[in-house]
Structure 1
Amino acid sequence: MQALRISNATRILAEEQDEYHALAILDEEIGGVNHMTSVWEPTPAELQQLIDGGAVRLTILGTAHPPIMLTTQAPHPCE
């Protein structure tokens, strides 16, 4: 998956950490709950795996699993 620049990003995570890829996120408060949202796009090979019945895999680094939400987003026209 390739991280995309989310519209109205509020900060960039790992921007100064060479061992990681920088990740643009949007910080929001929704219903009193803090959200950090990033947008990802499957590579052509990953997209074909999904079309062929594959699944999305989520990996969390560490030993504690934070609450997460995994959704899809409609395509956006190029900006």
Structure 2
Amino acid sequence: MQRIQHPSNNDVLGAPAGWDQKELLVSALPITRTEVNGIPAVTSFWKPSPEELARLNAGGSVSLWVIGGTMPPVALEVEP
């Protein structure tokens, strides 16, 4: 999936401090900083390629990868 610019985006995330770009490349990610019930949240927007859409339509699933040994609270949605 390709990250996309969304009209609500109001910031950009880069690689974390000390990140070794030679080991694993991290590109800039447009994000929307917001709140959910007063709790800070960050949203990024992604669009599947035609091939990924075909796999989804054939019953495939979306996988979420988080680098590290645990996963923070996350959510996946479909936006219009």
Range into which the TM-score falls when normalised by the shorter chain: 0.7 to 0.9
Match of 2:31 in 1: 25
CA drift at 1:32: 1.0
Match of 2:68 in 1: 62
Give the unaligned 5+ runs of structure 1.
Answer: 75-79
Does residue 53 of the first structure (1) align with residue 59 of the second (2)? yes
CA RMSD in angstroms, aligned pairs only: 1.6
CA drift at 1:65: 0.9
Task: State the identity %.
Answer: 33
Aligned residues: 73
Match of 1:9 in 2: 9
2:79 to 46, 52, 73: 73
